[in-house]
Amino acid sequence: MEYANGGTLRDYLNENFNRLSWDDRYNLAHQLACSVLCLHDEGIVHRDLHSCNVLVHKKSIKLADFGLSKRIDEASNSQSKLLGMVPYIDPKVLMNSNNLKLNEKSDVYSIGVLLWEISSGKPPFHEEKNRIGLIYDISQGRREEIIPDTPNDYSNLYIECWNNEPSKRPNMHEVVNRLGVFIPDSNSTTIDQQNDISDQTYPTPNENLTPNSAGNSSHGELSKMIQNFTNMNTSEIDSMSTKEQINENISSENYFSIECKTACY
């Protein structure tokens, strides 16, 4: 197994962000988008994209799916870390809107959040204390603020990616093409990424990550965790007693996500 010398994208940005030029950030964003596009072209939806399971090796992006590749006993039983994944998850799925399941446009939403993270060097909503209330806020359209001096074309792209309505999000082909404008040798980069990802092990289209598979289990557990929350109205959410009740309900369950060196919350 090849060792990713840069660690996770979360770790890499935490340790190197101040040394990254915009060209470096564009390259990371473009490689990430190319990798996800390769999956989509094979009929595979990743469903669990966040900066703790995107790896960096020799300044190149590699996708990982720790839900499939890690043993259960290596996972962390931390609800706070699982809640840290909330900003990356399609809000339509979070709120169980029309029983929507994770799909290609859900990956696009996650990519939008990751593009923002690459521009900021920080996890989304990393200073947010009320992680439970954040679920509702995101479902109502709350997003991170654009980082000053971010090129408009770049910020406009991730804003489109994290649109609340899946039908208004671009597909991964468009994301790759628009990021490619920033990369002079984008054609060769895309080819390299396609060759690189072909050497990695992913489910075949017939083995596409189903709601019952390990790779999707964290979202299933998260859905359980917020089930009561989604039935609450705004006035209930605003009341302190309701918030205490939410936390009490959540504390009665065990959930897991994957550890990385830099905290996922």
State the sign of the Cα–Cα–Cα–Cα dihedral 261, 38, 173, 182.
positive
| 174: Cα separation from own chain's centroid | 18
Burial of 198 (0-12, 13-18, 19+ CB in 10 A): exposed
Strands (E), the chain: 54-57, 60-63
Q: Could you give the angle at which helices 104-120 and 152-161 cross, rounded to 10 degrees? A: 140
- What does each C-alpha distance from 196 to 6, 31, 61, 109, 260 come to in angstroms? 17, 11, 10, 24, 23
Which residues participate in catalysis according to the annotation?
48
Q: How far apart are CA 135 and CA 47, in angstroms?
A: 18
Q: Do the Cβ atoms of 234 and 55 come closer than 8 Å?
A: no
